[in-house]
Chain A
Amino acid sequence: MTSTDHIDWHRLHRITPVLNAWKVAAGLFAVFVWQSADQLGELDLAVTTLLLIIAGVVVLGALLGLGFSALAWSRTKYGITEDSILLHSGVLFRQQRHVRLDRLQTVDVTQPLLARFTGFAALKIESAGGAGSNLTLAYLREDEAQRLRNELLARAAGVRMETDEAGVQHAPAAPEMHLYTLSPGRLVGSLALSGGIVTMLVAAVGLVVIAVVTENLSSVFAMGAPLIGAAAYFWSRFAGEFSFRVATSPDGIRIRQGLLESKARTVPPGRVQAVRLAQPPLWRFKGWWRITVNIAGYGAEETTGTVLFPVATEAEAAHLLSLVHPDLGDDRPLEVLRAGLTGDGDQEGFQHTPARAWWLDPLTWRRTGVRMTGTAVLLRTGRWWRSLVLVPHERIQSLGVTQGPWERKLDLMTFSIHSTPGPVTPMVHHQDAEATSLLLAEMTRRARNARRSAGPERWMTPAEEGSAALHEGGGFGGVLPSRVVSSAGVLPASPRAMTDDPGRMAP
């Protein structure tokens, strides 16, 4: 049903212009204050007159915003077909955006503060078209947004709709299993132990000391702006990652977060392109890891959307990793993972920077390394700022090697995996040249096989005939498909599933 004749068009909720108008008003107010604060100060007016002028500007701005938003609202409509979601919008420049549901990457239900109080929500559908390729439905009633989310995910997954007596189609609700909640204490602790806060406090104390000693406040004013910027950053981290919760459902991983603005994000299976577990130096005493992911369509500018879990212990991190990549493709997944997280040298089959290059990386040469498993590549870097990157074979976009003059002298190479834009850049420096060319050839082969046997984009439809057979013949026979598809949907993987699986063979 791709023709637009039979589409049931819907409007956004009538409250939309009101919720949008205050933004216009706030924007106008800010611009007004910014532009004319000086002139107003010089006019030498009474305080009441000044307040009246400002109030007038705000009311005018709100009315203008309301008018424009109402016009925009009246020209906006959306509809859902069997395989796409459509949004027609725009007053002067009309836009018709059609997003194919099999290309859907994530679905977010976001609630800015005002919408949260009034029970409304925005629905954001991310497709893989790069930054700015999302489709946003703002605003809908909260329950309507959730119903729509379920329907979109069910349609994207290829689940059949249930039709009730009245002939209305319903998406079966996806059962959800709650996994982890980030406690406020751990969030505050993690921020306090991140290098930034320490630097900021030292800088602030230093400034006060300088100001007291020199009896001059100019240094405080000079450094004030960067400090406020840093404080704003930490506030946004705190508010954005407050009450971070992760759950699993057949629709994928569901992430909820936010102190003021709440966000509920659903990442369907197979949408994560690369995972990174990172640990700043002070976090190692607590054994905490920050897990970020690359998801096509988000791009590098999105900061909160790419976090899978802000602060996880090693066991939680292993479990969360098993959700996005259920099968590590090795007999000893936990040992391999631990060697990648905290180990060094060649334990558990990691290949690292050869000893002859110790003077290029005096601290990190034993740590900088690669390990290929049956289903993914692990890249280990950093001695103080530890980091482990995982890229599933079927998500490799392309591979690259580079060699500078020093590397050529020492017979080394820098190896990188090209992933979609995001916070994770899989790359290791100074690997042995011959080992790297072998790695490159083998990884190319495994990526080729993994692509052929990759699960369907519509994750609930059965895999195509023959793909399993191809997988068997792919050189790592016996390894389970990376997604366990059953009639009940994707089975939530547990840490047990990572360890107790006798059916695997070493690659």
Chain B
Amino acid sequence: MATMSSGSAFEVDGAQWQSVSPKLVPVRQIGVAIGLGIPLVASVVVAIFTTPAVWAAPAVFGILLVWLLWLVPRQVRAIRYAELEDELLIRKGVLFRSMVVVPYGRMQYVDVDAGPIARSMGIAQVQLHTASAQSDASIPGLPEAEAARLRDQLSARGEARLAGL
């Protein structure tokens, strides 16, 4: 039992896993670059005008930036989702893996979100909300057509299998 390969623990019988769009990689990388690039530039400027010891800050930001740029493609490849008869499955994470099982009948509403960068790439995020704040059922990086199809599909299935609270 202990020798079982760890990957199969996240396998589910009858689930056909689908990947998300590879366009999510540049979208997230641009986000990371903006988020870390601004403090990086700012700390470089500060370091130039003050003591050399301050160069530690841009070094940390730089390392973090490179690491995240390397990590993002692997994270995106790890995002999988599967539509079962009664439940939606979502798998995420490389180092810290997670899987969530959301019954369609538990759905309260569906959100489709797209930020400016994602919109320019033609991808969107579909998020399923249940009555629990803990069910993190979001699928980022879906092509717009697929996001719309999934949204309608989830709404229809949720209606058909609607359960009380």
Contacts and interface: CB of A to CB of B under 8 A. Distances in A.
Interface of A: 103, 105, 128, 270-271, 273, 296, 354, 356, 394-405, 408, 411, 413, 416, 418-421, 425, 432-434, 436-437, 440-441, 444, 447-448, 451-452, 454, 457
A418 B108 CA distance: 14
A421 B98 contact: no
A408 B97 contact: yes
Contacts of B99: 400-402
- Chain B binding surface, main DSSP class: loop
Contacts of A425: 134
B131 A128 contact: yes
Interface stretch (B2-10, B34-42, B138-146): B2-10
Contacts of A419: 132, 134
Nearest to A401: B99
A447 B103 contact: yes
Contact of A454 (B4, B100, B163): B163
B11 interface: yes
Most B-side CB within 10 Å, residue of A398, A421, A454: A398
B165 A128 contact: yes
B87 interface: yes
A356 B102 CA distance: 31
A292 to B, nearest CB: 17
B72 interface: no
A398 B96 contact: no
A436 B11 CA distance: 12
Interface in B1-21: 1-2, 4, 6, 8-13
Contacts of B52: none
A418 B98 CA distance: 14
12 contacts: A396-B106, A397-B106, A397-B131, A398-B100, A398-B102, A398-B132, A398-B134, A401-B9, A425-B134, A432-B1, A434-B9, A457-B164
6 smallest CB-CB distances across A and B, nearest first, come from: A397-B132, A398-B135, A418-B132, A433-B9, A418-B134, A451-B163
B109 to A, nearest CB: 12
Interface string B78-106: 00000000110000010111111111011
Given A420-B132, A437-B12, 5 more contacts: A103-B165, A400-B134, A403-B6, A403-B9, A421-B132
A436 B103 contact: no
A432 B9 CA distance: 10
- Chain A binding surface, main DSSP class: mixed
A399 B165 contact: no
B137 interface: yes
A159 to B, nearest CB: 18
A434 B4 contact: yes
A255 B133 CA distance: 27
A192 B3 CA distance: 49
Nearest to B12: A441
Contacts of B93: 402
Given A128-B131, A399-B101, A440-B101, A404 B95 contact: yes
A105 B100 CA distance: 27
Nearest to B99: A401
A160 B52 CA distance: 82
A400 B1 contact: no
B6 A400 contact: no
Interface of B: 1-2, 4, 6, 8-13, 86-87, 93, 95-103, 105-106, 130-137, 161, 163-165
B159 to A, nearest CB: 14
A451 B96 CA distance: 31
Contacts of B13: 441
Contacts of B95: 404-405
Nearest to A451: B163
Nearest to B136: A400
A434 B11 CA distance: 10
B96 A405 contact: yes
A354 B4 CA distance: 14
Contacts of B130: 397-398, 418
Contacts of B134: 397-398, 400, 416, 418-419, 425
B135 A418 contact: yes
Contacts of A270: 164
Contacts of A421: 132-133
A189 to B, nearest CB: 35
Contacts of A128: 131, 165
A27 B149 CA distance: 53
Contacts of B9: 401, 403, 411, 413, 433-434, 436-437
Contacts of A436: 9
Contact of B165 (A296, A354, A413, A418): A296
B132 A448 contact: no
A400 B164 contact: no
A421 B99 CA distance: 20
B42 to A, nearest CB: 33
Given A273-B165, A356-B2, A413-B9, A403 B101 contact: no
Contact of A403 (B96, B106, B131): B96
Given A418-B130, A433-B9, A400 B100 contact: yes
B98 A394 contact: no
Contacts of A416: 134
B31 to A, nearest CB: 24
A451 B132 contact: no
A497 to B, nearest CB: 24
A407 B165 CA distance: 33
Contacts of A420: 131-132, 165
Contacts of B131: 128, 296, 397, 420
A398 B103 contact: yes
Contacts of A399: 100-101
A400 B101 contact: yes
Given A399-B100, A405-B96, A421-B133, A411 B164 contact: no
